[in-house]
Amino acid sequence: MAAALPPAEMARRRAGGLTARQEELLQQWGYPFVLDEFRFHLSLTGPLHTVNSETQALVQDAAEQFFADLPALRFNSLALFAEPTPGADFVLLDHLEMGA
């Protein structure tokens, strides 16, 4: 079990509308999209060029080691979202269809 989230954070997570299962997971784990409700996503925080080269190399090495033994993941589209300000709703910047 996770520590209880502040009421404002719970309200923010519920704002998009959750299923009964997602609500259960939110209450138990503090996040509605875990276990069977997990959705693959990557959260990017900004460009790496603002980080020193040693840190860049560490991130690159860690990513290569982590992903090296995983099977290829195929997808048919890619959606790019941005959070205009912290805590704001994400907005769709682009949706790209990928070739077969």
Per-residue pLDDT of the chain (100 residues; tens, 9 = 90+): 566 778 888 888 888 789 999 999 988 888 888 898 887 777 777 777 788 999 989 989 999 999 898 888 888 888 888 888 887 778 899 999 987 6
Return the pLDDT at 30.
Answer: 83
Q: Could you tell me the residue ranges of all domains in the chain? A: 1-39
> Going by C-beta distance under 8 Å and a sequence separation of 6 or more, which residues neighbour residue 29?
1, 2, 35
The answer to whether 75 touches 98, Cβ cutoff 8 Å, is yes
Return the pLDDT at 2.
Answer: 62
For every residue of the chain, DSSP letters joined together read: -PPPPPHHHHHHHHTT---HHHHHHHHHHS-SSSGGG--------S-GGGS-HHHHHHHHHHHHHHHHTSPP---SEEEEEE-SSTTSPPEEEEEEEPP-
Return the pLDDT at 97.
Answer: 92
Write down the residue that tokens 């990557």 correspond to.
Answer: 42
Question: What are 76's two structure tokens?
Answer: 């048919």
Return the pLDDT at 100.
Answer: 61
Predicted TM-score (pTM) above 0.85: no
Return the pLDDT at 86.
Answer: 80
